Amino acid sequence: MNVSSIQKYRPAYHYSPAEGWMNDPNGMVYFGGEYHLFYQYTTHGAKPDFANMHWGHAVSKDLLHWEELSVALKPDDNGAIFSGSVVVDQDNRTGFFNEEGSGLVAIYTNAGNKTIPGKDQVQSIAYSNDNGRTWSKYDGNPVLLPADTADFRDPKVFWYGPSSEWVMTLAVKDRVEFYKSPNLKEWSYASSFGAEVAGSHRGVYECPDLVQIPVDGDPSNTKWVLIVSVGDRNGINDSDPEPPAGGSGIMYFVGEFDGTTFIPDDQVTSEGDIRWVDHGSDCYAAVTWSNMTTETGNPLWLGWMSNWRYANLTPTVDWRGAMTIPRELALETRSGKETLVQRPARELGQLGAPVVSLKEVKASEAQSALSALQLDSYVIRAELDAKESLAFKVRTSADQETVVGYDSGLKELYVDRTRSGQVEFHEDFAARHTAAVAEPTDGKLDLLVYVDRSSVEVFASRGQAVITDLIFPEPSAKGLGLLTEKGDLKLHSLEIHALTSEVR
C-alpha cells in the first residue's frame, strides 16, 4: 500500500497522531507558553487496545501547529492509563516540587488494576518537573478507590478558590461524583449528581467537566456548567434517548456549585429537556484546558472527533482518530435561557488565505465564483437572511458530495453525508443530521463551516447550533458549490479561506 493511500484522509488542520489509535483528549493544560494535549493512545495498530492504553502527548504554542511528543504515561502494575486531567500545582501543595516551585500533576484512571482485589478502576497521580516531557508516578498510588462499581473513571480536577482545595469530578457509571482534596493525594467524597436525573442513561457517564463561565460576557454574573459524555448502548437504560445523531454524545447542565454540590437550574423531566452539546455524530469526550481562559473569561476545549458506534471501523490506515478544532465556550441568553454556545478559537482565524470574498452578492454570482475552486481543506463564512434557505455542497465530485445547509422553513441547520464518499463501513454512517436554530434577533443568519479532508464542523447563529461530522471522500473530490431555489437570493457576505499547508 502506497503512502498516499495511507494518508489520504489525514487532516490538514486537525490534530491526529502519526500512527496508532487515538481517542479521548486528556490532561489538557496551558503551562510554560504551551497548550498541552494528552490523549488516549494505543501505540500499535489502528484499533484500541484498552488493556494497554497509554497517554499520547502533543504541544502547541498557537493552537494551530502541533508537535507530537513521546508517550507521556505507560501502563504499570496498577493498570492501563485511562482518561484524566492535568493541573498546575502552583504552590507545591503536593510536595513534589521545590519549596517555592511549581509543576504539573496528572490525575488519571488506572484500569485493569490487579494490585487491589475487586478494585478494577482506581485513580492515580504523576508529576512532571520539565514542562510535561517526563513524568514520575507517585509512590502512594492509587490515591482513590471505588466503593461499589467497576465504572469509576475520568477524573477532571480544578482548584476551587473559595475553600482553597482541589475538586475532582469523576464519572461513576450512572452519575458524576465530586471529591475534594487539599493536596491531590488524599481525597474525600463530597456529593453526586445524575443518577436520579431524567436525562439520558443510555450509556455510562464518561469524561465529566465542571467549568464556571460568565453569562453574556459579564464577569460579575457566572454560572457553572457540568458537561457529561454519554457512551453508546452500554448504560443503565437502553430505552433512554439517544444523542441527536445516535451513538455517543455530550450533555450539559447549567446551575450552581458551592464547592461541594452541583444544583441544576432546571429539572430534566423529558427528552426535550436534555441539552446536547453537538447535533452531529462526531464530537465526544470534550474537556476544557486548565490553567487558562480566553480574554473574555471563557474556557477553551476540544473533543475526540468520532463516535463509539463505528470508531473502530473508519477507513484510515495505520492511524485512526482526530480531534475537533479548539473551540471557545460561552454562556449566552438565548430564548430566555442560559445556553452553551461554541465558536472556533480565535487563533483559528489565522488559518489560510482568502480565495473568495464577496459582499451583497446574488447566489448565482456566488455559485459562479465557487465553481472555479478545487479545495480539500478550507473555511466558509457566510451571512444571509434568516428567511432564506441555502446549502453548500462541499468535497464534491461526479458521484460524491456533502451538503451543509440551512432550512428556513424548519429553522434547521443540517449536514447530509449520505453521498460523502466511503459510507459503507457502518449502517448508521450514511445519514442526515439536523440542529434547531434559534430565531436571530437581527434577521440575519451566520454560517461558519470548517471543511477538512475527513470532516466538517458547522456553526450557526453565533455558535448556538453545532454539527460535527466525519466524512471520507476521495482526494479528488475537491469541488465546491451552492444550492438554492432562488438564483437571485442575496448573500450579505461570503468568504472562502483555503488552507495551503499542513498544520497538524
Residues classed as catalytic: 24
Question: At 29, which amino acid appears?
Answer: V
Report the 10 Å Cβ neighbour count for 218: 10
- Count other C-beta atoms under 10 Å from residue 217's C-beta: 12
Show the beta-strand stretches assigned E in 73-187.
80-89, 103-111, 121-128, 136-137, 153-160, 165-172, 175-181
Under 8 Å between Cβ of 157 and 166: yes
DSSP annotation of 371 reads H
Sheet order of strands, 353-362 included = 353-362, 490-498, 378-385, 444-452, 455-460, 465-470
223 to 134, 171, 180, 211, 217: CA distances (angstroms): 36, 21, 20, 8, 11
- What is the spatial distance between Cα 368 and Cα 481, in angstroms, rounded to a whole number? 9
Using DSSP's 3-state secondary structure scheme, residue 192 falls into strand
CA gap 419, 413 in Å, rounded:
18
Question: What string of DSSP letters covers 61-99?
Answer: SSSSS-EE----B--BTTBEEEEEEEEEETT-SSS-S-T
Rounded Cα distance, 386 and 409, in Å: 10
Give Rg (Cα) of the chain: 22
Helices (H), 434-499: none
CA distance 401 to 415: 11
Burial grade of 373 (CB within 10 A; 0-12, 13-18, 19 or more) = middle
| Sole residue written with cell 487515538 | 22
The residue count of the chain comes to 504
Residue in this structure with the C-alpha cell 453521498, named with its chain if needed? 419
